[in-house]
Amino acid sequence: MGGSKFSSMTGERGTPMNKRTICILSVAAAATACIFVGAFAQSNAPNYQLLKTIEVPDGLAAFDISWVDASNQRYYLADHTATPGTGRIDVVDTQALTLVGTIPGFAGTVPNPEPGCTASGPTGVVAVPQLRRLYVGDGDSTVKVVDTQAQAVIAVIPTGGKCRADELAYDAADHIIVIANDQDSPPYLTFISTDTQSVLGRYTYPDSQTGHGLEQPVWNPKNERFYQAVPQIPGINTGSIDIINPLTMQVERSLMTTCSPAGLVLTPSQRLKTSCGQALDAITGDNLGRTEPVAADQLWYNPGDNNYYFGFIFNPSAGFNGCAVVDANTNQLLTFIPASTHTLAADPNYNRIFIPVTGSGIQVWAAAK
pLDDT for res 120:
98
* Cα 132 to Cα 218: distance, rounded to the nearest angstrom: 19
In the chain, which stretches have pLDDT less than 50?
Answer: 1-40
What was the pLDDT predicted at 312?
Answer: 78
Helix ranges (DSSP H) in the chain = 19-24
- Residues 6+ away with beta carbon under 8 Å from 36: 20, 23, 24, 289
Neighbours of 28 (CB within 10 A): 17
pLDDT score at 318: 57
CB 298 within 8 A of CB 67: no
Contact of 28 with 36, CB cutoff 8 Å: no
At 32 the pLDDT is 28
Given this model, what pLDDT does residue 142 score?
98
Report pLDDT for 24: 26
Task: Report pLDDT digits (tens) over 71-83.
Answer: 999 999 999 999 9
Q: What is the pLDDT of residue 315?
A: 59
Q: How many CA within 13 A on the CB side of residue 357?
A: 21
The confidence score (pLDDT) of residue 214 equals 97
Whether the Cβ atoms of residue 63 and residue 79 lie closer than 8 Å to each other: yes
Sketch out the chain's domains with CATH numbers: 19-367 (2.130.10.10)
Three-state DSSP state, 255: strand
Instruction: Indicate left, alpha or beta for 114 from its phi (over 0: left) and psi (-120 to 50: alpha).
Output: beta
